[in-house]
Structure 1
Amino acid sequence: TSETGPKGRFDAVINAMGNQHTPLYPEVEGRDAFAGDSWHSTLWNHDVDLTGKRVVVVGSAAAAVQIVPEVAKLAGHLTVLQRSPNWIMPRRRKVYSDAQRRRFRRFPWLIGATRAVQGLMMGQVAHAVTLGHKRMDQFESMVKKYINDTVEDPELRAALIPDSRYGCKRGLVSDDFYPALNRDNVDLVPQGLARVTPGGVVTSDGREIAADVIIYCTGYRILDYDRITVTGREGRSLADTMGADQRSHKGICVPGFPNYFFAVGPNGLVLNVSYFITLERNVETIVGLLREVRDAGAHSLEVKQQAFDDYNAWMDQRFSKFSWGNTSCSSYYINASGHAPFLFPGTFKEYRKLHQAIGLDEFNVA
């Protein structure tokens, strides 16, 4: 049923709503009492001119590293609140020349070769987030060198180096975040947000900072399955089934919900490839299963509880190998139950092999 009321009947449903969509705000006192303008980074207020304003950006992760360099060019003064630092690699953004583009058009295989090289480089990320692997130390050393080469203030340099291992929090890339922190009109405060006042913010160490605008770069609800009502067999609610410990079978389905699939479900993303490559792999598997069901003259497909349990037990044995899946890590990768529901604990090669081997024997077919 849609929001406007019309109803439809379908043989199968694929939930492709994404897993980072709903803005997450800090639960602090006074947020609604702020007298100036404020918004979440994903709900940008384009009606507010930031020129000459006192701006506070709350957060220093993925959204902030994109927003801060641009806001710094406009604001009279910009303060960045950093609760904890992140590992930020240089992006090394490259602009392809007209001559290179002509070569790509003339020799399409060059595009494939370029992508293959980039894929090999991304493959190193799988090693860089594996505890005990030399690549992790190498990646951390690269970031530290980048900070030392880029950031002028010694105290600021020290504040930007994380205590956690590489990959515990989302690895970031930016060519202009660190340089922006060198600007005279930019301050980085290595403290979290304690409360908001009508005139600004108060940090966790009691510092009061005046602001005309507050921008919350504070992330999203992760894997929130209560955005729509989904009811499975025996009146089972998907939101209740997921609860605080989201799991799935190979990233695409859960028991109790026949013919209901996720384009990207719990542990349905692989770190060392593009989001879209994993998504395409998931959808290929879903479509392949539906074709098998159709060809078998059946109409219903539901993963067996035993197959689901066995797969998740196998994954549980692997999480501790990775910085992002280890319980010593504190990030959105780890949920309240200590489980890491966001990423697949392995490489895309392993994930693809699991999907290629999937068969109807893992499902109840009717």
Structure 2
Amino acid sequence: MQNQLANGPATNTSRDKKPAYRPRTAIIGAGAAGMMQAIKLREAGLDNLVIYEKANEVGGTWRENRYPGIACDVPAHHYNYSFEHNPGWSHRLALGPEIQSYMIRIADKYDLRRDIVFGAKVTKADFDGQQWHLEMSNGQRDTVDFLIAATGPLHVPAFPDIEGIHSFKGTKFHTAEWLDGIDLSEKRVGIIGSGSTGTQAISAIANQGVNLKAFIRTPQWVFPLPNRRFGKTERAIVRAFPFIGRMAGSFYGWFFERVFAEAVIKEGWQRKFLSAMCKWHLGRVKDPVLREKLTPTDEPLCKRMVMSTLFYPAVARPNVEIVRDGIVRATEKGLLDESGHLHELDVIIFATGFHARAYHRPIELTNARGESLTEVWKKQTGAHLSVHVPGFPNFMLVGGPHSPRGNFSAIAYSEAIVDHIVKIIRYCADNGFHSIEARPEAMAQFRERVLSAVPKTIWNTGCKNWYLDEKGMPENWTGTPDEYRDILRDPNYQEFNLAT
């Protein structure tokens, strides 16, 4: 095996020429990113692929999250594949079941199921110097040239560390593991968490008249974006003239990338506008005691912005109580707070999000030197361009460390990564490279670029959120979405070690 650096112009990159070999690619996850990756690989002639999916249906997060009130917090017409716009969205912010239906239609239209192995959770992946050897939960094994983790950054539910929680004799579950068919009427329900999931679930359950206690340790700023239902005539017009929906998607894309994204990374009118809107929205809460309970201590945009006009009216209902005192421990009857009050409950719902830095885990991933990626990342989490990890050739992530994860479409930024990965694999196939690995110095330069912009971001104001690592540094992209797309568009092969 010969190691070398690519020289670019002398290589074969034309699809009209026969590739040097036909690589096999495995994609982990049949969610939005994994399915898009398969479609794009096929279009590039790289159709020797397989998707391993742990569940029995496509959809990823939209399959697993089925709690009441679930909706996307990015406008629907901006939450599509660029090549497969959906003109039939029913709301400005698409509802979860509607997005899942869209994902199923994509799988069927592009005949993706023939390449998906359902009920096959990848548990182990070992690289031997040229290929990855995979083991699945169903006992299946496979050997592939390239391995792509499209598991998404938010897929492992996080639970709060509450003393005695296992002694609680009622029903308890995470919003990502919703109990289908559960009847909450006549129940005393406690919801822990106030992020996007918590506010959506609280709003929906409160309006059912349930006796609800919302345990909110750190209130969040809520941007007043109404989830307007599109009328029948409006939807019919968009179906008849799809370009209208695409224009709406372009507008929302501009708004979220030029306003929300830029407000996070630099001072300016965008930050002032969003801050003023959030504070105005909170000021509309009439009860001063309730308003005080709902007032965050950090600046707007420190955390991922919550989008809702339903939350504040919902928690003002007489059947809802906001509990700000921290939870000390659980008993068999309920939750004891710091004031010494025992909140007796029948149901506890954890709206506590996910392990934000799970990435490929819990898959055990090992390189040819016997190093596990989990152990390597204990020293420092990172990936060049958020995609490639030095020391782990032919392995790529969609949504890895320092990818954009703010208030804009995950599908939009994933498409840029997916296109980049297709170019990488096509380049290797055309030129006979069986191994490609990011150089450590390239990743160091990328990381320096990301971290050098931190002083201008809102995260430098003392924020605490799931974007930050153990050292308080953001694992998010700190530039604009356009800048991120630019660095991915044309891979610089001088930043990689290549082997034939």
TM over 0.5: same fold? Answer: yes
1:293-332 alignment, distance < 5 Å: 293-324=428-459, 326=460, 328-332=462-466
> Paired residue for 1:254, among 377, 381, 389?
389
Instruction: Give 3-state SS (helix, strand or coil) of 2:138's partner.
Output: coil
Alignment coverage as a number of residue pairs: 363
- Measure, in 1, the Cα distance between the counterparts of 2:239 and 2:188: 48
Identity of aligned residues (%): 31
Partner of 2:212: 78
> Paired residue for 1:195, among 319, 329, 334?
329
- Measure, in 2, the Cα distance between the counterparts of 1:244 and 1:300: 25
* 1:156 Cα deviation from its structure 2 partner: 0.9
- Measure, in 2, the Cα distance between the counterparts of 1:245 and 1:337: 10
1:5 aligns with 2:139: yes
Instruction: Give 3-state SS (helix, strand or coil) of 1:23's partner.
Output: coil
- Measure, in 1, the Cα distance between the counterparts of 2:270 and 2:186: 43
Partner of 2:371: 236
Instruction: Give 3-state SS (helix, strand or coil) of 1:109's partner.
Output: helix
Partner of 1:263: 398
> Paired residue for 2:261, among 99, 119, 126?
126
> Paired residue for 1:214, among 348, 362, 368?
348
Superposed CA RMSD in Å reads 1.7
State which drifts further: 129-138 or 81-90. 129-138
1:102 aligns with 2:223: no
* 1:266 Cα deviation from its structure 2 partner: 0.6
> Paired residue for 1:358, among 491, 497, 500?
491
Letter in 1 for 2:481: F
- Measure, in 2, the Cα distance between the counterparts of 1:48 and 1:112: 38
Question: Is the 1:272–1:348 contact (alpha carbons within 8 Å) kept by the matching residues of 2?
Answer: no
State which drifts further: 275-284 or 216-225. 216-225
Q: 1:245 to 1:170 in 2, by over 3 A?
A: farther
> Paired residue for 1:153, among 287, 292, 304?
287
State which drifts further: 60-69 or 46-55. 46-55
Letter in 2 for 1:345: T
Letter in 2 for 1:170: R
* 1:132 Cα deviation from its structure 2 partner: 3.1
- Ranges in structure 1 where 5+ consecutive residues have no aligned partner: none
Question: Is the 1:273–1:348 contact (alpha carbons within 8 Å) kept by the matching residues of 2?
Answer: no
TM-score, normalised on structure 2?
0.70
Q: 1:289 to 1:313 in 2, by over 3 A?
A: same
Question: Is the 2:191–2:213 contact (alpha carbons within 8 Å) kept by the matching residues of 1?
Answer: yes
- Measure, in 1, the Cα distance between the counterparts of 2:180 and 2:233: 37
Question: Is the 1:54–1:213 contact (alpha carbons within 8 Å) kept by the matching residues of 2?
Answer: yes
1:50 aligns with 2:50: no
- Measure, in 2, the Cα distance between the counterparts of 1:8 and 1:73: 49
- Measure, in 2, the Cα distance between the counterparts of 1:36 and 1:60: 22
Letter in 2 for 1:187: E
Q: After superposition, what is the alpha-carbon deviation per residue over 1:135-167, rounded to whole angstroms, capped at 9, x for unaligned?
A: 223212211211222x23111112212121122
State which drifts further: 254-263 or 156-165. 156-165
- Measure, in 2, the Cα distance between the counterparts of 1:188 and 1:213: 16
- Measure, in 2, the Cα distance between the counterparts of 1:46 and 1:207: 31
